[in-house]
A = this chain, B = another copy of it.
Amino acid sequence: MSLTVVGSIAFDAVTTPFGSREKMLGGSAVHFSLASSFFTDVRVVGPVGDDFGEAEYAVLRNRGVITDDIEHVPGGETFFWRGHYEYDLNTAHTDDTRLNVFGDFAPKLSDASRESDVLFLANIQPDLQREVREQMPDAKFVALDSMNLWIDIARDSLLKTIEGVDCVLLNDAEIRMLTRKPNLVQAARELRAIGPKVVVAKQGEYGAALLTEEGYFGLPAYPLETVNDPTGAGDSFAGGFVGYLAATGGEDLSHETLCRAMAYGTAIASYNVEEFGTERVSRLTRDEITARVGELQKITNFVDEPIALRA
Protein backbone atom coordinates (compact mmCIF):
# COMPACT_ATOMS: atom_id res chain seq x y z
CA MET A 1 0.00 0.00 0.00
CA SER A 2 1.57 3.32 -1.00
CA LEU A 3 0.62 6.93 -0.51
CA THR A 4 1.20 10.05 -2.56
CA VAL A 5 0.99 13.51 -1.05
CA VAL A 6 0.88 16.68 -3.10
CA GLY A 7 1.43 19.99 -1.38
CA SER A 8 3.87 22.61 -0.28
CA ILE A 9 7.50 22.14 0.64
CA ALA A 10 8.68 25.22 2.44
CA PHE A 11 11.08 27.07 4.60
CA ASP A 12 9.37 28.61 7.62
CA ALA A 13 10.47 31.44 9.88
CA VAL A 14 8.47 31.13 13.06
CA THR A 15 8.34 33.00 16.33
CA THR A 16 6.29 31.78 19.28
CA PRO A 17 6.38 32.96 22.91
CA PHE A 18 8.76 30.06 23.49
CA GLY A 19 11.40 30.66 20.85
CA SER A 20 12.00 31.25 17.18
CA ARG A 21 13.60 29.75 14.10
CA GLU A 22 14.76 31.79 11.12
CA LYS A 23 14.72 29.12 8.43
CA MET A 24 13.43 25.68 9.14
CA LEU A 25 12.05 22.93 6.94
CA GLY A 26 8.27 23.07 6.71
CA GLY A 27 5.30 22.93 4.37
CA SER A 28 2.18 20.82 4.45
CA ALA A 29 3.58 18.00 2.29
CA VAL A 30 6.67 17.75 4.48
CA HIS A 31 4.81 17.52 7.78
CA PHE A 32 2.31 15.13 6.25
CA SER A 33 4.91 12.81 4.77
CA LEU A 34 7.03 12.60 7.90
CA ALA A 35 3.95 11.62 9.91
CA SER A 36 2.63 9.14 7.36
CA SER A 37 6.05 7.55 6.86
CA PHE A 38 5.45 5.46 9.98
CA PHE A 39 2.68 3.58 8.20
CA THR A 40 3.47 3.08 4.53
CA ASP A 41 5.59 4.06 1.51
CA VAL A 42 5.14 7.78 0.98
CA ARG A 43 5.89 9.75 -2.17
CA VAL A 44 6.00 13.49 -1.80
CA VAL A 45 5.18 15.74 -4.77
CA GLY A 46 6.00 19.44 -4.62
CA PRO A 47 8.40 22.07 -5.95
CA VAL A 48 11.63 23.32 -4.38
CA GLY A 49 14.26 25.87 -5.39
CA ASP A 50 18.05 25.95 -5.38
CA ASP A 51 18.07 26.70 -1.67
CA PHE A 52 16.65 23.25 -0.93
CA GLY A 53 19.67 21.07 -0.32
CA GLU A 54 20.91 17.76 0.95
CA ALA A 55 20.17 18.60 4.58
CA GLU A 56 16.48 19.02 3.76
CA TYR A 57 16.29 15.92 1.58
CA ALA A 58 17.97 14.01 4.37
CA VAL A 59 15.19 14.81 6.86
CA LEU A 60 12.68 13.20 4.50
CA ARG A 61 14.85 10.29 3.39
CA ASN A 62 15.84 9.41 6.94
CA ARG A 63 12.17 8.64 7.49
CA GLY A 64 12.06 6.61 4.26
CA VAL A 65 10.04 9.21 2.36
CA ILE A 66 10.48 8.81 -1.39
CA THR A 67 11.66 12.16 -2.72
CA ASP A 68 11.94 11.26 -6.43
CA ASP A 69 8.90 13.40 -7.25
CA ILE A 70 10.13 16.55 -5.60
CA GLU A 71 10.49 18.95 -8.48
CA HIS A 72 13.64 21.04 -8.36
CA VAL A 73 13.15 24.34 -10.22
CA PRO A 74 16.59 25.61 -11.27
CA GLY A 75 17.19 29.24 -10.37
CA GLY A 76 14.12 29.25 -8.15
CA GLU A 77 13.66 29.72 -4.45
CA THR A 78 11.61 27.48 -2.18
CA PHE A 79 8.24 28.66 -0.83
CA PHE A 80 8.84 30.79 2.25
CA TRP A 81 6.45 31.56 5.10
CA ARG A 82 7.09 33.81 8.04
CA GLY A 83 4.63 33.84 10.90
CA HIS A 84 4.24 34.20 14.62
CA TYR A 85 1.99 32.99 17.38
CA GLU A 86 0.87 34.78 20.53
CA TYR A 87 0.09 32.84 23.71
CA ASP A 88 -3.05 31.68 21.94
CA LEU A 89 -1.25 29.07 19.91
CA ASN A 90 -4.41 28.24 17.98
CA THR A 91 -4.00 31.23 15.70
CA ALA A 92 -1.09 31.69 13.31
CA HIS A 93 -0.35 35.27 12.30
CA THR A 94 1.23 35.49 8.86
CA ASP A 95 3.94 38.14 8.51
CA ASP A 96 5.25 37.27 5.08
CA THR A 97 4.48 34.77 2.34
CA ARG A 98 6.76 34.32 -0.65
CA LEU A 99 5.31 31.74 -3.00
CA ASN A 100 8.51 31.61 -5.09
CA VAL A 101 8.57 28.33 -7.08
CA PHE A 102 5.24 27.37 -5.50
CA GLY A 103 3.53 30.20 -7.40
CA ASP A 104 3.89 28.37 -10.73
CA PHE A 105 3.42 24.90 -9.35
CA ALA A 106 1.67 22.58 -11.80
CA PRO A 107 1.84 19.19 -10.14
CA LYS A 108 3.41 16.54 -12.37
CA LEU A 109 2.87 13.05 -11.11
CA SER A 110 5.33 10.36 -12.16
CA ASP A 111 3.96 6.97 -13.12
CA ALA A 112 5.04 5.68 -9.74
CA SER A 113 3.24 8.37 -7.76
CA ARG A 114 0.10 7.94 -9.89
CA GLU A 115 0.05 4.27 -8.95
CA SER A 116 -0.29 4.91 -5.23
CA ASP A 117 -3.44 3.53 -3.65
CA VAL A 118 -3.93 6.50 -1.42
CA LEU A 119 -3.70 10.19 -2.25
CA PHE A 120 -3.53 13.16 0.07
CA LEU A 121 -4.22 16.56 -1.41
CA ALA A 122 -2.60 18.94 1.03
CA ASN A 123 -3.66 22.57 1.04
CA ILE A 124 -3.07 23.95 -2.46
CA GLN A 125 -5.30 25.80 -4.91
CA PRO A 126 -8.44 23.62 -5.37
CA ASP A 127 -8.22 23.57 -9.20
CA LEU A 128 -4.78 22.01 -8.87
CA GLN A 129 -6.07 19.54 -6.32
CA ARG A 130 -8.77 18.48 -8.77
CA GLU A 131 -6.26 18.07 -11.60
CA VAL A 132 -4.13 15.83 -9.42
CA ARG A 133 -7.12 13.84 -8.31
CA GLU A 134 -8.10 13.28 -11.96
CA GLN A 135 -4.65 11.92 -12.68
CA MET A 136 -5.30 9.17 -10.12
CA PRO A 137 -8.76 7.83 -11.01
CA ASP A 138 -7.97 4.43 -9.49
CA ALA A 139 -6.89 5.65 -6.07
CA LYS A 140 -8.69 3.71 -3.38
CA PHE A 141 -8.81 6.56 -0.91
CA VAL A 142 -8.39 10.28 -1.50
CA ALA A 143 -8.35 12.87 1.29
CA LEU A 144 -8.10 16.63 1.10
CA ASP A 145 -7.18 19.60 3.25
CA SER A 146 -7.74 23.26 2.39
CA MET A 147 -7.76 26.67 4.07
CA ASN A 148 -9.88 29.78 4.62
CA LEU A 149 -8.18 31.59 1.69
CA TRP A 150 -9.62 29.13 -0.86
CA ILE A 151 -13.02 29.15 0.82
CA ASP A 152 -12.94 32.92 0.41
CA ILE A 153 -11.76 33.21 -3.17
CA ALA A 154 -12.40 29.80 -4.76
CA ARG A 155 -15.33 28.29 -2.87
CA ASP A 156 -17.06 26.80 -5.93
CA SER A 157 -13.88 25.17 -7.15
CA LEU A 158 -13.18 23.78 -3.70
CA LEU A 159 -16.70 22.31 -3.46
CA LYS A 160 -16.24 20.75 -6.90
CA THR A 161 -12.95 19.22 -5.76
CA ILE A 162 -14.56 17.93 -2.59
CA GLU A 163 -17.16 16.09 -4.70
CA GLY A 164 -14.38 13.85 -5.94
CA VAL A 165 -12.70 12.85 -2.68
CA ASP A 166 -13.46 10.32 0.04
CA CYS A 167 -12.42 12.37 3.03
CA VAL A 168 -12.21 16.02 4.00
CA LEU A 169 -9.96 17.21 6.83
CA LEU A 170 -10.54 20.84 7.76
CA ASN A 171 -10.54 23.05 10.83
CA ASP A 172 -13.99 23.20 12.37
CA ALA A 173 -14.22 26.94 11.64
CA GLU A 174 -13.40 26.24 7.98
CA ILE A 175 -16.13 23.58 7.76
CA ARG A 176 -18.64 26.12 9.07
CA MET A 177 -17.34 28.80 6.74
CA LEU A 178 -17.41 26.51 3.72
CA THR A 179 -20.93 25.19 4.31
CA ARG A 180 -22.25 28.42 5.82
CA LYS A 181 -23.78 26.29 8.56
CA PRO A 182 -22.92 27.17 12.16
CA ASN A 183 -23.76 23.70 13.45
CA LEU A 184 -20.94 21.23 12.89
CA VAL A 185 -23.15 18.14 12.73
CA GLN A 186 -25.31 19.72 10.04
CA ALA A 187 -22.30 21.16 8.22
CA ALA A 188 -20.58 17.77 8.05
CA ARG A 189 -23.76 16.13 6.75
CA GLU A 190 -23.91 18.75 4.01
CA LEU A 191 -20.35 17.98 2.98
CA ARG A 192 -21.03 14.24 2.98
CA ALA A 193 -24.05 14.82 0.78
CA ILE A 194 -21.83 16.06 -2.06
CA GLY A 195 -19.34 13.19 -1.96
CA PRO A 196 -16.92 12.43 0.85
CA LYS A 197 -17.98 9.73 3.27
CA VAL A 198 -15.61 10.92 5.98
CA VAL A 199 -15.41 14.41 7.47
CA VAL A 200 -12.77 15.24 10.08
CA ALA A 201 -13.02 18.53 11.95
CA LYS A 202 -9.67 19.62 13.37
CA GLN A 203 -10.13 21.64 16.56
CA GLY A 204 -6.61 22.74 17.43
CA GLU A 205 -5.79 22.37 21.10
CA TYR A 206 -9.23 20.84 21.69
CA GLY A 207 -8.60 17.83 19.49
CA ALA A 208 -10.58 16.56 16.54
CA ALA A 209 -13.97 15.14 15.65
CA LEU A 210 -14.91 12.47 13.14
CA LEU A 211 -18.31 12.79 11.48
CA THR A 212 -19.54 9.98 9.24
CA GLU A 213 -22.88 8.50 8.34
CA GLU A 214 -22.14 5.74 10.82
CA GLY A 215 -21.41 7.94 13.76
CA TYR A 216 -19.50 10.56 15.63
CA PHE A 217 -16.20 10.26 17.42
CA GLY A 218 -14.62 13.03 19.48
CA LEU A 219 -11.02 12.85 20.58
CA PRO A 220 -9.41 15.52 22.77
CA ALA A 221 -5.87 16.59 22.03
CA TYR A 222 -3.15 15.02 24.13
CA PRO A 223 -2.53 17.38 27.09
CA LEU A 224 0.98 18.77 26.90
CA GLU A 225 2.96 20.89 29.33
CA THR A 226 5.30 22.01 26.62
CA VAL A 227 3.99 23.33 23.35
CA ASN A 228 6.67 25.21 21.50
CA ASP A 229 5.39 25.54 17.95
CA PRO A 230 2.02 24.46 16.54
CA THR A 231 3.17 24.87 12.91
CA GLY A 232 2.41 21.68 11.01
CA ALA A 233 0.21 20.12 13.68
CA GLY A 234 -2.76 19.82 11.31
CA ASP A 235 -0.62 18.20 8.60
CA SER A 236 0.99 15.84 11.09
CA PHE A 237 -2.50 14.87 12.24
CA ALA A 238 -3.53 14.28 8.64
CA GLY A 239 -0.36 12.26 8.02
CA GLY A 240 -1.06 9.98 10.96
CA PHE A 241 -4.75 9.67 10.10
CA VAL A 242 -4.39 9.02 6.37
CA GLY A 243 -1.21 6.99 6.91
CA TYR A 244 -3.02 4.67 9.28
CA LEU A 245 -5.85 4.17 6.78
CA ALA A 246 -3.30 3.47 4.05
CA ALA A 247 -1.58 0.89 6.26
CA THR A 248 -4.89 -0.89 6.80
CA GLY A 249 -5.52 -1.04 3.06
CA GLY A 250 -7.19 2.27 2.28
CA GLU A 251 -10.56 0.64 1.90
CA ASP A 252 -11.49 -0.16 5.49
CA LEU A 253 -13.55 2.86 6.51
CA SER A 254 -15.27 1.12 9.41
CA HIS A 255 -15.98 3.31 12.40
CA GLU A 256 -13.47 1.40 14.55
CA THR A 257 -10.67 1.83 12.02
CA LEU A 258 -11.40 5.52 11.52
CA CYS A 259 -11.36 6.07 15.29
CA ARG A 260 -7.97 4.39 15.56
CA ALA A 261 -6.70 6.50 12.68
CA MET A 262 -7.83 9.59 14.63
CA ALA A 263 -5.79 8.42 17.60
CA TYR A 264 -2.62 7.94 15.54
CA GLY A 265 -3.07 11.35 13.94
CA THR A 266 -3.60 12.95 17.34
CA ALA A 267 -0.58 11.21 18.83
CA ILE A 268 1.81 12.31 16.09
CA ALA A 269 0.43 15.87 16.05
CA SER A 270 1.04 16.09 19.78
CA TYR A 271 4.71 15.29 19.26
CA ASN A 272 4.92 17.75 16.39
CA VAL A 273 4.02 20.74 18.58
CA GLU A 274 6.50 19.89 21.31
CA GLU A 275 9.35 21.37 19.30
CA PHE A 276 9.82 23.66 16.30
CA GLY A 277 8.99 22.58 12.77
CA THR A 278 9.97 19.00 11.99
CA GLU A 279 12.46 18.77 14.86
CA ARG A 280 10.49 16.39 17.03
CA VAL A 281 8.76 14.20 14.45
CA SER A 282 11.97 13.67 12.50
CA ARG A 283 13.43 11.77 15.46
CA LEU A 284 10.16 10.22 16.67
CA THR A 285 10.13 6.47 17.31
CA ARG A 286 7.49 3.81 16.82
CA ASP A 287 7.44 3.09 20.53
CA GLU A 288 6.74 6.72 21.32
CA ILE A 289 3.75 6.72 18.97
CA THR A 290 2.39 3.49 20.40
CA ALA A 291 2.84 4.78 23.94
CA ARG A 292 0.97 8.00 23.23
CA VAL A 293 -1.91 6.22 21.53
CA GLY A 294 -2.16 4.14 24.70
CA GLU A 295 -2.14 7.29 26.81
CA LEU A 296 -4.87 8.81 24.66
CA GLN A 297 -6.99 5.76 25.23
CA LYS A 298 -6.45 6.07 28.97
CA ILE A 299 -7.27 9.76 29.25
CA THR A 300 -10.48 9.50 27.24
CA ASN A 301 -11.87 6.32 28.68
CA PHE A 302 -14.58 6.22 31.30
CA VAL A 303 -16.80 3.41 32.46
CA ASP A 304 -20.29 4.26 33.60
CA GLU A 305 -21.52 2.61 36.74
CA PRO A 306 -25.29 2.57 37.06
CA ILE A 307 -26.43 5.04 39.68
CA ALA A 308 -29.91 5.51 41.12
CA LEU A 309 -31.06 8.82 39.68
CA ARG A 310 -33.98 10.65 41.25
CA ALA A 311 -37.22 11.03 39.39
Binding site for B on A (CB under 8 A): 17, 37-40, 64, 87-89, 176, 182-186, 203, 206-207, 209, 211, 215-221, 223-227, 244, 247-248, 256, 259-260, 262-264, 285-286, 289-290, 293-294, 297-311
Q: Which of B39, B182, B298 contacts A309 (CB 8 A)?
A: B39
Q: List 23 A-B contacts (CB under 8 A).
A: A89-B182, A183-B224, A183-B227, A185-B225, A186-B225, A206-B206, A207-B218, A209-B220, A209-B223, A215-B299, A216-B223, A217-B299, A219-B302, A248-B307, A256-B303, A260-B307, A263-B302, A263-B304, A285-B311, A294-B304, A297-B304, A300-B300, A300-B301
On whether the beta carbons of B302 and A256 are closer than 8 Å, the reply is: yes
Cβ distance A40 to chain B, nearest Cβ, rounded Å:
8
Q: Which of B17, B256, B299, B309 contacts A38 (CB 8 A)?
A: B309
- Distance A223 CA – B64 CA, assembled complex (angstroms): 39
Residues of B within 8 A of A303 (CB): 256, 260, 297
- Distance A273 CA – B266 CA, assembled complex (angstroms): 29
On whether the beta carbons of A300 and B183 are closer than 8 Å, the reply is: no
On whether the beta carbons of B293 and A304 are closer than 8 Å, the reply is: yes
Known contacts A182-B87, A301-B301, A310-B286; decide if A218 and B216 are in contact (CB<8 Å). Answer: no
Q: Which of B37, B186, B297 contacts A302 (CB 8 A)?
A: B297
On whether the beta carbons of A309 and B286 are closer than 8 Å, the reply is: yes
Residues of B within 8 A of A87 (CB): 176, 182
Residues of B within 8 A of A226 (CB): 183
Known contacts A206-B207, A290-B309; decide if A300 and B38 are in contact (CB<8 Å). Answer: no
Counting chain B CB atoms within 10 Å of each CB, the highest count among A219, A223, A256, A286 belongs to A223
Residues of B within 8 A of A302 (CB): 217, 219, 256, 259-260, 262-263, 297, 300
